Structure 1
Amino acid sequence: MKKLFSGLCGLLLWQTASATEPNTAALFEHQLPRLHSDTTLDMRQLAGQPLLVVNTASHCGFTGQFEGLEALHQQYKDQGLRVVGFPSNDFNQEAKSEEEAAQVCFQNFGVTFDMAAPISVKGDQAHPIFKEITRQSGKQPRWNFYKFVIDRNGRVTEVFSSITGPESGRLKAAIEQVL
């Protein structure tokens, strides 16, 4: 009986571990247009780097977090962290045009980190990057400015809701763990 129990526990541990193994193709095998630009954000160039992935919006009570996200980018970029913003209108808070969204990010808040053109981040219409993030973490964005810390191996290590601001010590500690 003890051997059977031990075998079942091992099987359960293996299934749990394999369910959270990253699908790096789902995260990194994408080329997305950059926000209001003719250039492309090649996610393959980010493979092997720690990431802070954030779904953003231009007209949201949390939009001011762009300033703090830029501060995180400046603080940790020399240690390898890449901050990547993904505008989304899944919560009806995005600008009406990419030009307006770009103005909010780049002019109003001075964002220099990577920003993709708008995509969907939840449900059946979610971009494969966010489907993989949701699969790994068991959490999809419930609002704008959800933050996902991803290690060098493509594993989601921590998820922070909109309420957790970029200046949070918990967020910074999670980032420092993946550096």
Structure 2
Amino acid sequence: MTIYDYSATLDNGETYSLEKYRGKIVIIVNTATKCGFAPQFKELEEIYATYKDKDVIVLGFPSNQFKQEMTTASDAAQACQLKYGVTFPMHDLCLVNGDSALPLFKYLEKNSKGVLGNSIKWNFTKFLINQQGEVFKRYAPKDSPKNMVKDIETLLNQ
């Protein structure tokens, strides 16, 4: 299994297969606009702007699992665009832990360990996915997105 075996739903309700990102480096992050880590949106956008022409994509998945997100996906996406200038794809609200978690996040958790084992500790847990659709590395919520740049460069040079 890889991320290509899953679908995602954008903030506008459009569902698509992650197969469309085959061969690209993908950064998947669970987000929350009311979280203290929300300024990371700016760094994520900078990474996206710098690397999007090199087949790197950032995908934001807003979650109210930790009670720090807007009530609708469109409100969350609009807040990200207005406050942080986000242009990368934002998705529908989802759960990232538990039986009702989005299947993609169940896959991500199963294939990477964090501080709490496989569960996602908090908002802004980041997953770097290689060009084969597999988890390359998991980053903690407190980790700056800029910490991913060295690993992105490594993947680009393989």
Whether TM-score is above 0.5 comes out as yes
Unmatched runs of 5 consecutive residues or more in structure 2: none
Q: AA paired with 1:136?
A: N
Amino acid at match of 1:104: A
SS at match of 1:137: coil
1:145 partner amino acid: F
Q: Aligned runs of 1:9-158 on 2, under 5 Å? A: 23-24=1-2, 27-35=3-11, 37-138=12-113, 139-158=118-137
Distance in 2 (alpha carbons) for counterparts of 1:43 and 1:131 = 15
Q: Whose helix proportion is higher, 1 or 2?
A: 1
| SS of residue in 1 equivalent to 2:120 | coil
TM-score (norm 1): 0.78
1:53-80 Cα distance to aligned partner (Å, 9 max, x none)? 1010111001111111000001111111
TM (normalized to structure 2)? Answer: 0.88
Structure 2: how far apart are the matches of 1:124 and 1:176?
35
Counterpart contact for 2:62–2:73, Cα < 8 Å: no
Aligned-pair CA distance for 1:97: 2.3
Cα separation, partners in 2 of 1:89 and 1:38, compared to 1, 3 Å: closer
State the AA in 1 paired with 2:111.
Q
State the one-letter code of the partner of 1:34.
L
Secondary structure of 1:107's counterpart equals: helix
Larger CA deviation: 88-97 vs 132-141: 132-141
Q: Which has the larger radius of gyration?
A: 1
Any gaps of 5 or more consecutive residues in structure 1? 1-22
